[in-house]
Structures are given as C-alpha cells and as structure tokens.
Amino acid sequence: MKIVTYNVNGLRQRVSQHGSLLRLLNSLDADIICFQETKLSRQELSADVTMAEGYEAFVSCTRTSNKGRTGYSGVATFCRVRSSFSSNEVALPVAAEEGFTGLLECLKKREITRDFLHTPVEVEGLSDITNEDLLKVDSEGRCLITDHGHFVLFNIYGPRAEEDDKERIQFKLLFFRMLEKRLESLLTQGKRVFVAGDLNIAPAAIDKCDAEPGFEKNMFRKWLRSLLQECRGSFFDVFRSKHPERKEAYTCFPQCVGAEEFNYGSRIDHILIAGPCLHQNHNLEGHNLLDCHVEVCDIMTQFKRGNSDNTPKWNGGRSTKLEGSDHVPVYVVLRDIPDLSTHDTPSLAVRYFPEVRGWQQTIVSFLMKRKVSSNCKHHSLSNFSSVEDTLIENCGECVECSLACGTKSQHVNASDVSHSSGQDLPYFNSGGESFNSNVIKDSSITVDGTQNTLLRLKTEPARSLSHCKLKLKKKGGHSNSSQLTLTSFFQKPNIVRTIGVETVNTGGSSTPEDTEKPRDNLSHVTEGAGKIFSENVKDSSSERNDSSISSHVQEQGCSDPSFFYKKDKDNVAILEWQRIQEKMKKSLPLCKGHREPCVARSVKKGPNTGRQFYVCARAKGPASNQEANCDHFQWASVKSKENRR
C-alpha cells in the first residue's frame, strides 16, 4: 500500500495543470492520497475537482471568513478502490470524520468517541478554552480523519503564524495541542495512528537550508520533536528514520525568492506513524510498525517546479510563471497489510454531497411555477423568426482577395440553430469538424436574445470554410430567454463600425442591398430575428494586413484616424516603456556580491509599511553557493522636504 501527502497549493490549479483530476491522481500512483491547501469552499465543490473514476473522495473545507480566509486552506483525501460498496480494501475507510475536536460531528448529530474532551480542557500556555475556541480550530478545514481498520489516518494542514501575529500564534498553539490530545486518546485505545500532511514545521536544523542559530529552540519545533521516539515520544518521523543523514532533502520552496533554482527550501511535509505492528506473535520484542511494515519512504522530487532545462532564470522574478505547487509530495510504501472485512463507503464521502451530486427534489417543487434559467437546455429557437439569407464570407489572406478565393455565401436557417446549456460555442468548418478554440480568437458572431447558442452551418461540400472563424458574443438588451416583440421589427438599424467591417443591427427584414455585398465583407443581416453575424479577417502578412485594412477603411469612408495610427502608437508606447526600464536600471544600486542591478521592493506591513528597499536580484540559495543571492539589502534613500523644495 502506498500513501502520499501533497500540498497542492490550490486543487483546481493542479487539476488544470494535469488536464483532469484523474490524471493528477494517477500521476501520484498511490492508494491513499492526502491533499492540503485545496483552497475550495463548500460552495465551490464540483465533480471536476472531487470525483474521479476509481477513487472515493473525502474533503474538509473552510467554514470561517475571518481575515478573508474563505477558501484559504482545506484538505482532501482520495482513496483508490475497485468497489465503493461491499469492499474489503484497506484503502476504503470504514469511517471518516471532519476535524479532530469532535465538535463538527456533534453539530451533525453523529455519534463519535470524544473521550479526550469529556474532561475540562487544560492546555499548556493557554487558559479559559471554550467550545467556541475549539470549534474555530476545526472551522478552517485543516483536518480530515479516515479510519482504515488497521490504522487511523490524519490528513493535516498545520496553520502558519508570523512571529509578530500573536492571535495566529495562539491559534496555532491550540491547534497542535488539541491534535496531540486526540492522538494520545487513540493511542491509549491501542490504535495505530498515521499523521500525513503539511505541518508547517521543520523539526531540526538539518531540515532547513541555512538554518539560523537557535532554529531548534522554536516552541513549535520543540513540540513536534516531543512527539518523536528520539525524544521519548510515540511517533516515527518515517522519512528521517529511513534517511537519518540525508541533507538538502526539502519539500517546500518559497515562490517569492525563486527558491527552486538553488534548492533553498525546508522539510515541512511529513508522514508520522505510531502504534504496534500487525504481527500476532506472542513475543513482539524488537517489533515495531516502522521496521515491520514500512518498505520505503521518500520525496517525489520529480514534482518540483522548474526541473526542465529551459526554465527561465530568476531575476527578481520570472518572465513566465512556473506551473506546479511550491511543495513536492512525500510518499510511504507499506507491506504486509491484510484486507478488511466487507464494508461500504462512509457517509462523509463526496459522492453524497448535494453540492456535487445535486439536491434531492421534493413533491412541492413539481407543483411550483417553473422558472426559466440560463442553464436550462432549450430544444429549439421556434419562438424566434426564421433566420435566412445570412451571408458568411471567408478569406485566409485579405479582404481584397475574397473573390479570388471563390468563396460563396453560406446560409444559416432557424432549424440549424439550437441551444446547448453549460457548453462553450464550438467552431465548425465545412467538414463538420470543430476548430481549436485556442487558435480562433479574431472573428466573432454576435447573437441577440440568447447566450448559450450552438450554431450549425450548412455548407456546400465543394466550398471550404477552413479559414472562417466564428465566435459567440452576448449582446445586452435581452434576457437569455426573452422573446422579440413586434416593436423590435420597426426599430432603426444600429451601425457599429470596426476595422474593415461595418455591422448593421436591425430588427426588421433585410434589403437586397444588405445581402449582396460579398466584396465589401460587411456584416450580415439576419431577417426577423434581430441577430447579427460578423466576421473579422486575419491576414498572414503584417504589411498586407496594414495596406488592405487601410484601403478597405477608405472605401467605407471611415474618418477615425486611430485606424491608421494605432499600430504606430503601440510601437511608440513599447519603445517608451523600454526606455523607462533602461533608465530605471541605471538608477538602481548594484548588489555587493555580484555588482549587478538590484530589484526594488517595498515593505508590506509593520512600522515601515510602504518604504522601499533594494535587494539582490538573484534567486535565494545556500550561503555557500556564490551564484545564489548575495543577501544584499539597502534602504531606498528618502529625500527631506527641504531638499525636494
């Protein structure tokens, strides 16, 4: 059995990076996967980030909005199973619980073991602890407990606290003290306990690059080490137990200093285990959970950002943002874990969440007057007038060569237009194949009165529309399901001018002159429907593009000079910005280590908030590495009011 812990720094971002949740999970190739910092609130849960074939999911989301912490933390546990019901797999938990104080489960009226809270709470360094304080500990979605029969697994995302933030330090202290009490309660019952997650604590100096003097005297590091067997605790730090002398083994790399480049990080993601081994021998001397059942434990460095050779170097920042989390996963492989008795998926599983699977309807809902929603799927546009004589022209080169391409006008009928809720508008060529949405950016189709519209273009087989680019835009003025009124057929047409294209918007019928202008590439009139289809033409050559657009604008009689000089203005703006950047570089001080221009920064909080300073532009790294940041720091000079005058 393989267990992985991974701070994803936003689950939706990681799913997008890998293409799907299933690909993300399969890339980790584990039976139990513990994610931290999912950054999902309960309202943001959806099937694309919680449901994957072959996996059961359990999540805990942030419930508080204090200091803007909604969707800030959050944990999720994914279990790879062959069957969700009547299964004997260890990966499928027999029970699950959100939080570790038991108060959240009490609110849900579930029966759980809360022996560790039956007595008055007395925590060292804290006093007058109330149930409200304990509820706050569980309200940030930082703990998920799953009972796998042979062991109880804690998925933990430990809070982070700055040295000057006394409130968060108190919260962090209460969090870990209450966690310790829950762990002790389970161990006294003879349970095997696994703790996996981002604890935001590096236990010793070996776990931090260039640890400062007194690093290990921090009270949270002392607390973590007190749990370990080296300090007469009950837990094994599995990675350090397997690799006691390994240095430069880090799991977190700060993004703001380019720490990945020179491996400037810390080991704050852990897997801790405690309890007896699974062997049934009467003589268990020399047996323990680590030696008997842990095969291997290591850091999955292949997930580290910036591993490729073409990664841009850090220079006070990066020209392109690196994909991936600022953490890397840690895994452990267990052996000799027997199956369990038959059991089903616990009720805390995401498959039972109404936010994901939908709310169950009642009989009353069928008797109420139905509301038309923008997400409803309409099966026709019969309430609109027929769409006829709509011309769509195309050309892959320029406006002037439209006749040379031999492209004929295409017709769009009302029977060929239908709604498709919840989907993006696809693009079609004459062969019925959809265009790549990433390529099609320049052209547009504007439709009045509807938002989610799927267009099917009947084209002649002999004529290719491979260069025609269509895109849907929503035009204001009508709701998604509004019906045209009689007055709309008597309104004057609105003319909207764009580069090389004149769009005529009318609610009435089109005239023959409107439908017979293939040479001018004008927008096209939709008779009786109040819909306009326009097409922008993209040239393959910039010189030809400028000349064709200029001549076409002259033909249309457009008097706006910005059409002629927009490109020149853009070029002037770019050159001016480059000049400003060069001037700024010359005014920047040089760092002491490399004699290179520094980067400017400003203080974000504290008594010096807003004050500017300069630091070395290179990425942070070990002090022994001459290529890394030289730690140059210099306050920006502040001129007095007298000197400014």
Neighbour tally for 226: CB within 10 Å? 13
Residue 157 appears among annotated catalytic residues: yes
- The DSSP call for residue 414 is G
Neighbour tally for 577: CB within 10 Å? 10
Taking the alpha carbons of 120, 126, 128, 134 in that order, is the dihedral positive or negative? negative
Residue 309 appears among annotated catalytic residues: no
**Residue burial 479-508, b: 16+ Cβ < 10 Å; e: rest:** ebbeebeeebeeeeeeeeeebbbbbbbbbe
Which residues lie below 8 Å from residue 287, measured CB to CB, with a gap of 6+? 276, 277, 279, 281
Residue count of the chain, please give it. 645
Positions of E strands within 300-385: 330-334
Q: Name the pairing type of β-strands 193-198 and 152-157.
A: parallel
Radius of gyration for the alpha carbons in the chain, expressed in angstroms and rounded:
32
State yes or no: 327 annotated in a binding site: yes
The CA-based angle 570-571-576, given to 5 degrees, is: 100
H-helix or E-strand containing 137? helix 131-138
Taking the alpha carbons of 502, 504, 509, 511 in that order, is the dihedral positive or negative? negative
Neighbour tally for 285: CB within 10 Å? 5
Distance CA 272, CA 610 (A): 42
Distance CA 66, CA 99 (A): 18
Among 150, 270, 293, 327, the active-site one is: 327
Identify the CA nearest to 164 among candidates 637, 462, 603: 603
State yes or no: 37 annotated in a binding site: yes
Main-chain phi, psi angles of 62, to 5 degrees = -70, 135
Neighbour tally for 264: CB within 10 Å? 24
Helix, strand or coil, per DSSP, at residue 78: strand
Residue 6 appears among annotated catalytic residues: no
Among 31, 138, 198, 448, the active-site one is: 198
Is residue 84 within 8 Å of 51, Cβ to Cβ?
A: no
State yes or no: 594 annotated in a binding site: no
Token couple for 497:
């001018």
Helix, strand or coil, per DSSP, at residue 77: strand
State yes or no: 343 annotated in a binding site: no
Distance CA 329, CA 303 (A): 7
Cα–Cα distances (Å) from 611 to 556, 614, 618, in that order, read: 55, 10, 21
Among 157, 264, 427, 614, the active-site one is: 157
Distance CA 203, CA 180 (A): 16
Tally the C-alpha atoms within 13 A of residue 15's C-alpha that lie toward its C-beta: 17
State yes or no: 309 annotated in a binding site: no
Distance CA 300, CA 70 (A): 30
Which residues lie below 8 Å from residue 25, measured CB to CB, with a gap of 6+? 33, 52, 55, 78, 80
Residue type, 395: C
Helix ranges (DSSP H) in 282-332: 289-293
Identify the CA nearest to 395 among candidates 497, 519, 290: 519
Which residues lie below 8 Å from residue 208, measured CB to CB, with a gap of 6+? 202, 215, 266, 267
Q: Cα 329 to chain center, whole Å?
A: 17
Distance CA 284, CA 61 (A): 41
Identify the CA nearest to 135 among candidates 104, 97, 180: 104
Known binding site: residues?
7, 37, 198, 200, 326-327
Active-site annotation, residues: 157, 198, 327
* Annotated binding-site positions for Mg(2+): 7, 37, 198, 200, 326-327
